[in-house]
Structure 1
């Protein structure tokens, strides 16, 4: 059990962040044990050929049999706009003791592939992660990011409608919040307590439950499963509402149905198998007609069905 005791300052300073390096590191768990990540099997299939070209020996050595990864792969993101290269540059400067201690905390010892001179080991690590990112994550990052950003927008809506406690309680199974302490049920048998240093919440595509730093002294971070992971890789299959389709057209009607939750044009294009530019044209028409609203989040524009759109579909919230 992990317990973070949150002061008033901690509660006021709860923030969300996105970590491209963290997402890259967590994805290695799906590569090591695909059976544990059924929602990501389409991504594994799409990247199968690319994964044959990466430094698998090193990358797989970062994940143990419990699917734990060292904390240097899960840096605390400072904002939702964190860049992969910035995080990788910081990792390249990791000190020998920190590097060794974090690997030992996961594996009990430094894996042989990362033993030897520190500069050489870190150099190979950084090169392997950069290649893996470029081949297996970067081509899909815009789609992944859209899902992650939509999740953050959803959590913000929960806070606005139901309060912070409801949002924290709803992060994932095994997470509870009593107004002062957030408790997380982890597989680790070690009881840990922290707090007083803020809390960063990081949605991810590659966890089924909440994950947290391995080291007890790490700044509080909770990585939780983002909503809508599965639909990212599947085309939307929604029965057409005949009357709405006759009024708006089939594509716009399907988009309106899908926008019960925030989504970007990139994500919607993947789900419906059409180009992003075509989706944007339809979304502009729906927005101009007052059926959807839009908000900018970082570098993305997220769309959501409006009350008028709900009324048109006969939906009550």
Structure 2
């Protein structure tokens, strides 16, 4: 099965590649991951930490985000690109008719709805307010401690794509669309999303498409079911093969940061801020590529950079912690 997304020339002009993760999409997709054992090399430690923090009050939220199948579109309002507070505020303003429609689709995919979800479907104001509070609480416990890592990984993925696109002497839009994800097929002017739960045709009609990179999206891109909503394709970034875990060693006393002291690593960090491959880093510090690779490993283990491989090139970018250190901001 496949969904065919049709572009006009105006749609190509209006299509945007988001530059940061969307907090409401990460809430929803992380709820999916929390209820599975997928991606243990990346998410295993995060799951163990988060499951130990959550209380039974999160059960209504889990009921709205089953690990497989449909989740209500109203959980990911477009306003969330401005932050979690704006996202929750937009959710609280969801019209009753849309709540009923989305939750009817959820009911059709499940044997029975929990009482709190039925109250939402009936437009209960208190139930909707409780949902907003639950999302805020979940975000604080399950995402906020890890948000710098999420932002860094998404930023590194975007930097690698931008660098790769600039190195290809072809139409940049066509190249961007072709390299987004194996589950997306670009046959200009149609983007084809393959998957068991998508089908039909979506004509953008001049509004363009938001391409949204996501840390918690796993294996396959996803879209909103309701084609009347602002169109978005959420796609998985390429993950680092390391566990997502709460960083408890930040600050000058951390072993990784102590290891950074020295002119060579400072030079490499400055060069990475401008974007560069391992070969370019070696040249900037007047060292061999092998020596540069060693220093880069120390920087990466300290949480100051992330690394991406694109084709035959290995590219490095700063994490928020690395940027703070380089710019002399307090490491909190």
Deviation, structure 1 residue 310: 5.7
Q: Structure 1 regions of 5+ residues with no counterpart?
A: 235-265, 296-302
TM-score, length basis structure 2:
0.71
Deviation, structure 1 residue 69: 1.8
Runs (4 or more) in structure 1 with deviation over 6 Å come to: none
Provide the rounded CA distance (Å) in 2 between the counterparts of 1:64 and 1:310: 48
1:174 and 2:188 correspond: no
Relative contact order, higher structure (CA 8 A, sep 6+): 2
Match of 1:308 in 2: 280
TM-score, length basis structure 1:
0.74
| 8 A contact 1:61–1:113 mirrored in 2 | no
- 3-state DSSP class of the match of 1:4? strand
1:12 and 2:21 correspond: no
Match of 1:97 in 2: 97
Of 44, 49, 54, the match for 2:47:
44
Paired residues for 1:12-161 under 5 Å: 12-17=13-18, 18-35=21-38, 39-51=42-54, 53=55, 55-64=57-66, 66-76=68-78, 82-108=82-108, 111-116=114-119, 117-161=123-167
1:200 and 2:210 correspond: yes
| 8 A contact 1:19–1:75 mirrored in 2 | no
Match of 1:213 in 2: 224
Aligned-residue Cα RMSD (Å) equals 3.1
Aligned residue pair count: 270
Match of 2:305 in 1: none
| 8 A contact 2:23–2:80 mirrored in 1 | no
Provide the rounded CA distance (Å) in 2 between the counterparts of 1:227 and 1:2: 23
Note closer, same or farther for the CA distance 1:307–1:279 as it changes in structure 2 (3 Å cut).
Answer: same
Provide the rounded CA distance (Å) in 2 between the counterparts of 1:279 and 1:223: 36
